Chains A and B, each alone.
Chain A
C-alpha cells in the first residue's frame, strides 16, 4: 500500500517567516516527488518537483529530499498571506508514468 503522510495542520506562520512543510512516504521505490498548492475549491497547482537527494530552490521555495529517510519537505521563505493554501505532497514510482499518490495536504495559514 503506497502511502504519503502529511500533518494536516493548520500550520500558522507570521508574514515574512519561513514555513516548513513535511511529508513522508512509505514506498521506498518512489522516485519522483512533487509539491502542489491547492486553494480552497481550486485545482492542484504544481510548484516544485524534485528527483534527487538534496535541496532544490526556486524563488522563495526550497524542496528537500532525503530518500534514505523517505522524507521530503518544502520551505517557503518570506511567507505571504497569498501563500495561505493547502500544500499537497505527491510521489510516483520509477516505472513509466505511474500515477501520483497524494497526501492529504497541510493547510498553511500566513498571518499578516
Chain B
C-alpha cells in the first residue's frame, strides 16, 4: 500500500543551525502538507503546497521556514535557524485533492526534531 515516507525519523540539532526534513509523498497525490505537533499539544498546520508553489501557510510558517520540491518525488521543509521552540514532531502529509474525488490526507511517520 502506498505510503508517505519521512527522513530522518529523529533529528537533534543545535540552536541556530539549519535543518532539512525530507518527505516522499504518495506518488499520484497532488497536494502536500507539513504539520507539526509539539509534545502534548494538538497537530498544527504549517504549509500546503500544490503545483510547485505554496497554496496556504499558517502564522507559524514565518521567514525561518521554507519548502521545496526539488525533484519529482521529494518534498522538503527547511528551518533556517532553529530555536528551542521548534522542537516538535513534524509530519508530512499528502492528498489527491478534492477535484480527484477525495480530500483525505495521509500522514508520514514523522520526524522528531529536538533543538538543544
Contacts and interface: CB of A to CB of B under 8 A. Distances in A.
A binds B: yes
Interface of A: 32, 34, 36, 42-46, 49, 88, 90, 92, 96-105
Contact of B41 (A42, A98, A104): A104
Interface residues of B, number: 27
Given A34-B104, A98-B56, 14 more contacts: A34-B105, A43-B89, A43-B107, A43-B109, A44-B43, A46-B106, A88-B42, A88-B43, A97-B95, A97-B98, A98-B48, A100-B45, A101-B45, A102-B44
Interface of B: 31, 33, 35, 41-45, 48, 50, 55-56, 58, 89, 91, 95, 97-98, 102-110
Contacts, number: 59
**At the interface, is chain B mostly helix, strand, loop or mixed?**
strand
Name, among B31, B35, B43, B106, the residue most crowded by chain A CB atoms within 10 Å (CB to CB): B43
